[in-house]
Amino acid sequence: MGLIKQKNCMKQCIILYLAGSEVTMGSAVERTDEHVREYLVYRGFTNTLKHLDTEIKTDKEKGFRVDKIIDQLQQFIQSFDLFGLKDYWLYLDRRLFSRLEDVYRSTVNKLRTSLYRYYVINTIQKGNLEKTHEFFQKQALELQGQVEWRDWFILPFIPAPEQNPAFSPYFSRQWADTFLVSLHNFLSVLFQCMPQPVLLSFDAEVQKMTSLLEDNEQLRQLLFALQTESRDQRDGDEMVHHKLPAYVQNMDRLGDTELIPRTSS
């Protein structure tokens, strides 16, 4: 039952994410951090507050902000920091991916493969062949037994690999963008599905209540506008149907003298 429930949760989160859910875990964490910081100030826990701020600055999960995690990975790639890239991915794997069901392991492995290929392609595009050779030397033991890397060890020795049919797709901007979007979506859905502590649930309830209050205010204003319009319409109808004296109905057949009031003798 637990596995079925978790799978259903994953599917629901995917639907919510693709539907464009406005409430993200990253924004909820950021607001909750502010609430905790405010509480620590109120309680006078200054040392705890200093430790909190320090750990937030070095937070590898970036407050569950997917865009910042992607930026960090790209910084490692652009600076040719293979060790930093591997270490950061290992942290994400240990902290996040290892908690997933085994059925998602193949997806994680494919994303890691694409990440390493993204790194290698960048070294070639930037003309840093030394880093290209370094990658295969340091990763040889890990990658040589993997089928998806079997043909890649000849990459550093191919002239103009961007024109080689086997590798040219990986040099296209389309491939890079597709990979980054896939990684972004996977992390976003993962964060949506993670079990949340009570504080984050409280934040979600506050946001829901705030949204309901805003909706109620909009409905109240709409109701007031409709009531005002109806009252104005009713007042207008009363003016149109204002009754005149009965003889006015026959004024088109009366002469002016007949309108003069008669005096009793």
- Residue of 56 and 209 predicted with greater confidence: 56
Among 12-21, 25-34, 39-48, 186-195, the minimum mean pLDDT is found in 12-21
Amino acid (one-letter) located at 133? H
Is-contact 199 32, C-beta < 8 A?
yes
pLDDT of 19: 38
Cα separation, 97 vs 115, in Å, equals 15
Report helix angle 129-143 to 82-95, nearest 10: 40
Measured CA to CA in angstroms, residue 73 lies from 55, 81, 114, 222 at distances of: 19, 10, 12, 49
Q: Is the pLDDT of residue 92 over 80?
A: yes
Instruction: Name the band, by pLDDT with cuts 50, 70 and 90, for residue 217.
Output: confident
Helix (H, G, I), strand (E, B) or coil at 136: helix
Give the rounded distance of the alpha carbon of 38 from its chain centre.
Answer: 26
Identify the H or E element spanning 181.
Answer: helix 173-193
pLDDT of 247: 60
Identify the H or E element spanning 113.
Answer: helix 105-125
* Portion of the chain with pLDDT greater than 90, in percent: 43
- Specify burial of residue 151 (Cβ count, 10 A radius: 0-12, 13-18, 19+): exposed
How long is the chain? 265
pLDDT of 61: 80
pLDDT of 24: 66
Cα separation, 161 vs 151, in Å, equals 12
Give the rounded distance of the alpha carbon of 100 from its chain centre.
Answer: 21
SS3 content of the chain, % helix, strand, coil (to 5): 80, 0, 20
Cα separation, 149 vs 114, in Å, equals 11
- Residue of 102 and 215 predicted with greater confidence: 102
What is the average pLDDT score of the chain? 80
Give the rounded distance of the alpha carbon of 141 from its chain centre.
Answer: 38
In this structure, the dihedral spanned by the alpha carbons of residues 153, 154, 159 and 161, taken in order and rounded to 10 degrees, is: -60
pLDDT of 44: 87
Among 70-84, 148-162, 170-184, 238-252, the minimum mean pLDDT is found in 238-252
pLDDT, tens digit (0-9, with 9 covering 90-100), for 95-125: 999 888 889 999 999 999 999 999 999 999 9
Q: The pTM is what?
A: 0.66
pLDDT, tens digit (0-9, with 9 covering 90-100), for 122-164: 999 999 999 999 999 999 999 988 999 999 999 999 999 999 9
Q: Which residues contact 186 (CB under 8 A, 6 or more apart)?
A: 107, 111
